Each structure stands twice: as C-alpha cells, then as structure tokens.
Chains A and B, each alone.
Chain A
Amino acid sequence: MKANEEKGCCRSTESCVDYGSDDEGSNESRSLTIKYLMYSVPLLAAWWLIYLSLSPFSKYLTYNLLHLQSDAHFSSAVEFFVYDTPKVLMLLTLVVFGVGILRSFFTPDRTRKILAGKRESVGNVLAALLGIATPFCTCSAVPLFIGFVTAGVPLGVTFSFLISAPMVNEIALVLLYGLFGWKVAALYLGTGLIIAMIAGWTIGRFHMERHLEEWVYQIQVGEAAYDEPDRTWADRIQYAVDAVRDIVGKVWIYVVLGIAVGAAIHGYVPEGFMASIMGKSAWWAVPVSILIGIPMYSNAAGIIPVVHALIEKGAALGTVLAFMMSVIALSLPEAIILRKVLKPPLIATFFGVVGFGILIVGYLFNLLI
C-alpha cells in the first residue's frame, strides 16, 4: 500500500478554451469524429479477441513455454500473474475510456448547478449519483466544497457528493469486476451509493452549518465568467483518450505490483490462512479493519489485488469490503485538506457517520454471504 499522492491530484479533466471553433472548425471536428469512430470498431474487436484469449494464453505460457509443473506453488503464482495483469489493465482501459466519455458531459460547475436548490432527500440521491459521473480530485475538494455551499447546495447534499466521488470510482469497480465478478462489483457500487446518500442525509439532519469556518460564508464568490466550451464528439473522444492515458499511465504500476503481491499470496499462503484473522467468526474484524484503513491512503488500483488475495485465503467478504471502503473513502490527507473549511466537530461527524455506514455494510455482507 503505497501512500501515493497520485490518487488525489488532479488528473487532467476539462478542456481549455478552444479557439477557432468557427464553421471551418466544426467541419474539421465532424470529419475527426468520423475518423475516430472508424478506428473504434476494429479496436474494440481486437480488444475483445485478445481478452478472450488471455486465459488459454496464460496457461500455454506457464505450462508449455516455461515448462512449469502444473501443481507447484510457483507456477500457480505465475499463471495468476500472467492472466490477471493484462486482464485488469485491459478492463481498466476500456472502462476509463467509457467513464471519460460520460464525464465529458459533467463538470463540477454543471453538477453544482444541478444540485443547487434541490430538496435534501432528492439532493442526496442525486449528489451520490453525480459523484460517480463528475470528475473530481481530492485536492480540488475544498474549492468544490465552497462552490457547492455558496451556491446554496445543502451541507448534507454536499457531503453525499464528497463521500461518493472518491469511494465509488471506476477503478475500484473494474478491479472488483475483474477479480471477483460482477456481483461483488454491483454490491460495492450499490452499498457505496447508499452509504453516500444516507451518510450525507444524516449529516444534514445534524444541522452542523455553524461548524463551517466563518470565512466560507463571507466569501463573495466572484464569477470568473468561465464559459464551458461546447464539446463536439471529437472533443469527448479526445477527452476520454486523455483520461485513459492519464489514469492508466498513472496506476498501471500499482496494478502490476498489487497483482504480483496477490500472485505471491495466491501461490504460497495456505488456504484458509486469513480465516482466523479476517474470517466471519471474528466479530471485531470489521471495526478493526476500518480503523486500520483510515490512516492508509491508497488508491483502489493498489489495494484491490491485495484484497483479492485476502479473500481467496478465507477472509470474509464483508470485512474486506469494509477495509477497502475505509482506505479509499476515509483518509487522513483528506481530513487535513477539509480542515481548512470544516471545524473539528464536523470532520469528526463526517468520519464517524461514514465509518458507521461502512461498519454496517461490513457486518451485513458477513451475515448474508
């Protein structure tokens, strides 16, 4: 678990002002769009073919080319690594691209306009959902927070957004899907959204507006008059390609390292080893996992392969999901950043409510599955 700054810091998102978008420009962008679409069909077909052949290839490489014995620890670890690494990276590329297209429709500014003036309950639901679709990074959390609050977005609704945006992210979902299947990914998505909605709503109920730093209310937000440039499809595709380059370029090393660790555990740690520590029978495992998770600050890419290996060796799913949510959603750096606008009681409430939500999810899954 690397304490990396990568997760937070501003991946390139919105476009800069585009000059020369006159008629000539729009013709050009139209032909560019057609060109992109022509490329995408064979690319998708190639993606699919390679993806399907990964499993036979990893077996072939491990047992035929490298002549490893089929029941040894080492070969089992090698096969795991050779299969999982390209699989996860390919899924990641595809999903980051798709999410990039989706996000090109949402900007923080537009999200703020949607949320301003919404009633609380509806607002919480919307904010949690928009948290997935809006490009967001931790270091923008404070300006974004101020932008929301000064635009009249209720405090609880703002928190729903702040909880959902980092926790329910495409990287986490891809990795969960790739390593555990769609059910676990869907569970994570669903419970993550529900925690964001309910925790935000709860914080709203506490009426803690006075625990914001005073200066937040004194700010006269000047409009810097930034007009979103209209985006063409060519722009959106370009935006998504940039997102892929940016995110995959940044996280691939964590994915590879994470899978390598996972592979080692897969091959060497005996089955059921984690059952005693993180299994269902240990009632204290869920809260302890959450507490351990808070000071850890990792992105989903680095932690999920490890989590995968833990589950395989008998750790209970609920405990592990709670651990993961805690690592991703609650972090000390975030608390320090938010301290600039929130007073300690509000930060404590934020962590308390979200932590409690994660706790319930952890126990629930251990109970149900």
Chain B
Amino acid sequence: MHIKVLGPGCKKCHETDKVVREAVAEAGSDATVEYVTDIAEIAKHGIFSTPAVIVDGSAKCVGKVPSKADVKGWLGK
C-alpha cells in the first residue's frame, strides 16, 4: 500500500504528514508514506486544495487534516 501526502509545505500539510505517519506506525501497517511538495506533482493528481491524502491512487481526503482514526480506516485496520 502506498500513501501520498500532498501539500506545498504549509503548517496543515506538515501536520497531515505527521498524522499519517503516526497512524501507519500505530497500526503496524507496511504502507509506505511519501510526502509530495512539488506543485506540478500535486497538480497532476487533480487536487485543488491541500493538504490531500492519496491512498493507492485514490484521494481519501482533500483540504483537511485527517484524524488518525480516518487514516487507520483507509489502511483497513
């Protein structure tokens, strides 16, 4: 499972990255987390507001910091 956190680097984006990583660690998942700050890369995903979380190519959360419970839900745990 591959998780991408998209965000050009504002506070909320960092927060999202942190929440996702912590949730993945807590769930003991083997998912990889990638933090994407490149605007062009973000735009390619068709995302218009950040932060956004993309799990295996599908957007799960846009324009908001997810909760750990949200992330664990996406991990299927």
Contact = CB atoms under 8 A, between A and B. Distances in A.
B46 interface: yes
A320 B42 CA distance: 39
Interface string A173-196: 000000000000000000000000
A224 B45 contact: yes
Contact of B51 (A10, A224, A225): A10
Interface of A: 5, 8-17, 19, 107-109, 112, 135-137, 139-140, 142-144, 146-147, 150, 215-216, 219-226, 337, 340-341
Contacts of B63: 10, 12-14, 107-108, 135, 140
A143 B64 contact: no
The 5 closest A-B pairs by CB, nearest first: A226-B59, A147-B48, A9-B10, A16-B61, A224-B59
B22 interface: no
B49 interface: yes
B73 interface: yes
Interface string B40-77: 10111111111111100111111111110010011000
Nearest to B43: A146
Nearest to A218: B40
A228 to B, nearest CB: 9
Contact of B50 (A15, A143, A224, A226): A143
A217 to B, nearest CB: 11
Given A9-B10, A12-B65, A225 B47 contact: no
A332 to B, nearest CB: 16
A140 B57 contact: no
B64 A16 contact: yes
Interface residues of B, number: 36
A5 B11 contact: yes
Contacts of A225: 57-59
A112 B47 CA distance: 12
Contacts of B65: 12
Interface of B: 7-13, 39-40, 42-54, 57-67, 70, 73-74
B56 to A, nearest CB: 11
A107 to B, nearest CB: 8
Contacts of A17: 60-61, 70, 74
15 contacts: A10-B50, A10-B63, A14-B62, A112-B48, A139-B9, A140-B50, A142-B43, A143-B39, A144-B49, A147-B46, A150-B43, A222-B44, A222-B45, A226-B52, A340-B39
B48 A144 contact: yes
A86 to B, nearest CB: 28
B60 to A, nearest CB: 5
A15 B64 contact: yes
Contacts of A142: 8, 39, 43
Contacts of B58: 224-226
A10 B61 CA distance: 13
B10 A5 contact: yes
A143 B11 contact: no
A11 B12 CA distance: 8
B46 to A, nearest CB: 5
